[in-house]
Amino acid sequence: MPLHGQAFLALWNDIAAAREREYDQWHTLEHVPERVAVTGIHGARRYVNRRRTSHRYFTLYDVAGLDVFDSAEYQDLLRNPTPWSAAMRPDFSNFVRAPCAVRQSAGIGIGAAIACLCTQGDGVADDRTGTALAHALTLPGVTAAHWGSGQGGPPTVPWQQPSAPSAPSSAPAAPSAPRAFDTVLLLEALDREAAAAALAHLQAALSLADLPADFGADVYDLAFVFPGADAAEPLRHRRPAWPEKG
């Protein structure tokens, strides 16, 4: 289905292997709900590709507009993390954050897999991109296609912070500098095979077949969607100091 809002936030990251199960719990029970509680953030999905050695997690937030990331509520979350969030931060790595303005978004439902294609927009004409995405929607198994423009880069606040002295744990994957990109194309599909086929078709259509199979040219499997059917659920995760959400 079309994204809900005029912007989206795409995030890729890794977590120390010893904390993956805890990460899934934290991300499901606290992190995503408190983000979606922010005024202007409509919903979120977590994806994972456990075949990857880096950038194994991908998260997509539907956002009203890019100005949401400058709001007092969102900045409060960044500057004042919960104890659980603060404890998770040292074990993050390979964090890529890309706030994007929506250029095009169409489709039906939410697919079980998503293909990510990150590129430099000045290398592909807008009309060519729009045509390629429209055609991708006609491919077998493809349920939605989205196009966003922004600037991929580091997180708003540092996430790779020194760990306090503690018992040894598995270290996160070594940080790797992401390639430059300012365009994010997303294809949702019924399964990873359909998503992979659509990704290959889109890369060929845009002369991007030679891209490395990194976070920005791969397929991720859907793991979690929030808030689901209960539209009131985000309200239960708002911080007491925030104004009442209308």
234 falls within a domain: no
Over the range 22-61, which residues count as b (16 or more CB within 10 Å of their CB) and which as e?
ebbebbeeebbbbbbbbbbbbbbbbbbbeebebbbbbbbb
Average predicted confidence (pLDDT) for the chain: 90
pTM: 0.90
Q: Are 20 and 95 in contact (CB under 8 A)?
A: no
| 3-class DSSP assignment, residue 93 | strand
d(CA 242, CA 238): 7
By mean pLDDT, which of 5-19, 46-60, 110-124 is the weakest?
110-124
Domain with 144, as residue range(s), is 7-158+176-229
Asked whether residue 165 is assigned to any structural domain, the reply reads: no
Separation CA 2–CA 143 (nearest Å)? 10
CATH number for the domain including 222? Answer: 3.30.70.100
Give the HSE-up count for residue 181: Cα atoms under 13 Å, Cβ half-sphere: 25
pLDDT at residue 178, as a whole number: 75
Cα–chain center distance at 174: 20
Please report which residue ranges of 11-80 form alpha helices under DSSP H.
20-26, 32-36, 72-79
pLDDT of residue 161: 41
| Residue 119 included in any domain | yes
Asked if residue 165 has pLDDT above 70, the reply is no
- Does 166 reside within a domain? no
Q: Which residue shows structure tokens 């074990």? A: 91
Q: Is residue 73 part of a domain?
A: yes
In a domain, 82, yes or no: yes
Q: Is residue 240 part of a domain?
A: no
The pLDDT-based confidence of 157 (bands split at 50, 70, 90) is: low
Q: How many domains does the chain have?
A: 1
17 falls within a domain: yes
Q: What is the pLDDT of residue 227?
A: 95
- At residue 164, the pLDDT reads 41
